[in-house]
């Protein structure tokens, strides 16, 4: 599986936008970019995914670089409930998700 690189941790102020980066320089043409987040003592929760085009949903936006070697998860207004570990994962259709270290997002009131 192609690997992803994320910062170990990031801090944000409440109600400000957060940009979580992810590098995936070895991505292949069939890899989807998935983002999940995990709150303490819970299973991961789906956030968003995309292939080539930027994607928006009620939780976040996903900005994908033109060469697809990096992507950014955007939380438009961080809340305290967004404090979690965010995982950027490359997935091929039908394949399992392989988790890297993720980014621990801390949100300050």
Partner 1 sequence: GAVVSQHPSWVICKSGTSVKIECRSLDFQATTMFWYRQFPKQSLMLMATSNEGSKATYEQGVEKDKFLINHASLTLSTLTVTSAHPEDSSFYICSAIPVLPNTEAFFGQGTRLTVV
Applying CB under 8 A, the span of 19-27, 63-71, 76-84, 85-93 interacting with partner 1 comes to: 85-93
- DSSP, collapsed to helix, strand or coil, labels residue 43 as coil
Give the chain's radius of gyration (CA, Å). 13
Q: Does 99 bind partner 1 (CB under 8 A)?
A: yes
Q: Work out how close the CB of 21 gets to partner 1 at its nearest, in angstroms, rounded to a whole number.
A: 18
Could you say which residues in the range 3-32 bind partner 1, by CB under 8 A?
Answer: 32
Beta-bridged to residue 104, according to DSSP, are 9, 85
Q: Work out how close the CB of 101 gets to partner 1 at its nearest, in angstroms, rounded to a whole number.
A: 5
Nearest 5°: the CA angle 65, 67, 73 is 25
Could you say which residues in the range 25-64 bind partner 1, by CB under 8 A?
Answer: 32, 34, 36, 38, 41-46, 49, 51
CA 57/CA 81 separation, integer angstroms: 17
H or E element in which residue 20 lies = strand 18-23
CA 22/CA 2 separation, integer angstroms: 13
Give whichever of 7 and 100 is closer to partner 1, judged by the CB atom: 100
Single out the residue of 73, 102, 105, 107 in contact with partner 1 (rule: CB under 8 A): 102
Single out the residue of 58, 66, 67, 93 in contact with partner 1 (rule: CB under 8 A): 93
């Amino acid at each position: 599986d192609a690997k992803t690189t994320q910062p170990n941790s990031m801090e944000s102020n409440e109600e400000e936008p957060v940009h979580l980066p992810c590098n995936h320089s070895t991505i292949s043409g069939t890899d989807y970019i998935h983002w999940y987040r995990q709150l303490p003592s819970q299973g991961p929760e789906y956030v968003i995914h995309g292939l080539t085009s930027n994607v928006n949903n009620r939780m976040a936006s996903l900005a994908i670089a033109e060469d697809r070697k990096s992507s950014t998860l955007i939380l438009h207004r961080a809340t305290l409930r967004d404090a979690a570990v965010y995982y950027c994962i490359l997935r091929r259709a039908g394949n399992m998700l392989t988790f890297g270290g993720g980014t621990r997002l801390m949100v300050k009131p």
